[in-house]
Structure 1
Amino acid sequence: MAIRPIRLFGDPVLRAPSAPIETIDEGVRALVRDLIDTVEPPGRAGVAAPQIGVGLRAFSYNIDGDIGYVLNPVLVEVSGEPTAIGEGCLSVPGLWHDAVRYPHAKVVGIDLDGREVVLEGDGLLAQALQHETDHLDGKLYIDRLTPEGRRAAMRQIRESDWF
């Protein structure tokens, strides 16, 4: 159990689609503990396994103090009018841009006992579900920016201390 360091933009694990979890073993249980520990600090809405260097389909969330996780999540539903909404990412620190997201989202996956988990909601939860499943597909929120927004984000990344 540990707060794991967050991988930053440029790390190949962030751009590779994550593999499904085939067997729930001690390694997967340890991954879930680390994901939960890593999402607990204030200001973190979600952490996907690739962000801590693990190419498996799993993420944790922390929305209004409700902390949890889901394994093998699939974004099965989005609805409402897509809207540009302010968004940031732990893997692209210091940036905040408007990404296009749906106001409602639903994810289906499993827990450590293999039971179905359904996460569904609006607002920040919907945004986090879309953001974290994007990570598992090898996408970052900057991929959802307008061309002008993406150019600005890339400029900020190149000028950052961490890149």
Structure 2
Amino acid sequence: MTIHPIVRYPDRRLAMPARPVTAFDDGLRELAADLLETMRAAPGIGITAPHIGVPLRVVVLELDARDGALTYVNPVIEWASPEMIMHREGSVSMPGVNDEVQRHAQVRISYHDVDGNIQTEESDGLRAVCHQHEIDQLDGMFWIQRLSRLKRERLVKKFEKLGRSS
């Protein structure tokens, strides 16, 4: 397992849609393990392959120690509730800043596990927010694009200031 450098905002690779995974092999399992180690080192609770410069549709989430880490390959939102919630979000690619983003309160996703088996999962709250956030990233939509222009500009300025002071 390897901890990879994380692609930082505004790197254009974060705006590129990721390709579907077609090979469910040891390389995919190694990528998932590397993503988990990289996410833990960041630290974070979710990461995608594009966050480490690999343009594939792979997500790793670890929201709580009891459930452990889960890997979602080629995830797709199949259904989203009409009810919306606000949740504070950030990114391993833009550390040190976060803001409130509106998301669907519940979602149902379909995805493959690392062995290629099709799975479905219904989620709400934080897990639903994470699914939407990471699938957006796989589609090339960085989370700050969900903010108003004014909030986005303020956040980018704050992030740039943090980068200059570190």
Q: Is TM > 0.5 for Structure 1 vs Structure 2?
A: yes
2:26 corresponds in structure 1 to: 26
Deviation at 1:16? Answer: 0.5
Moved more, 10-19 or 30-39: 30-39
CA spacing shift, 1:43–1:37, aligned 2, 3 Å = closer
Percentage of pairs with the same residue: 34
CA deviation string 1:105-135 (max 9, x = no partner): 2221111221112232111101100011011
Question: Within 5 Å, which residues of 2 pair with 1:49-64?
Answer: 49-64=49-64
- Tell me, what secondary structure is at the counterpart of 2:153? helix
Q: Report the equivalent of 1:8.
A: 8
1:19 is displaced (CA, Å) by 0.3
One-letter amino acid matched to 1:52: I
Contiguous gaps of at least 5 residues in structure 1:
none
State how far apart, in whole Å, the 1-side matches of 2:43 and 2:126 are: 12
Provide the alpha-carbon RMSD of the alignment.
Answer: 1.9
CA contact (8 A) 2:108 2:123 kept: yes
Distance 2:94 2:156 in 1: 10
Q: TM-score by structure 2 length?
A: 0.89
> Aligned equivalents of 2:136 and 2:158: distance in 1?
21
Structure 2 unaligned regions, length at least 5: none
The equivalent of 1:68 in structure 2 is 70
Take 1:125 and 1:83, find their aligned partners in 2: how far apart are those partners?
A: 12
Matched residue SS, 1:33: helix
Matched-pair contact (CA < 8 Å) for 2:35–2:60 = yes
Once residues 160 and 36 of structure 2 are traced to their aligned partners in structure 1, the CA distance between those partners, rounded to angstroms, is: 30
Q: Return the offset for 1:72.
A: 0.7
CA distance in 1, matches of 2:9, 2:124: 27
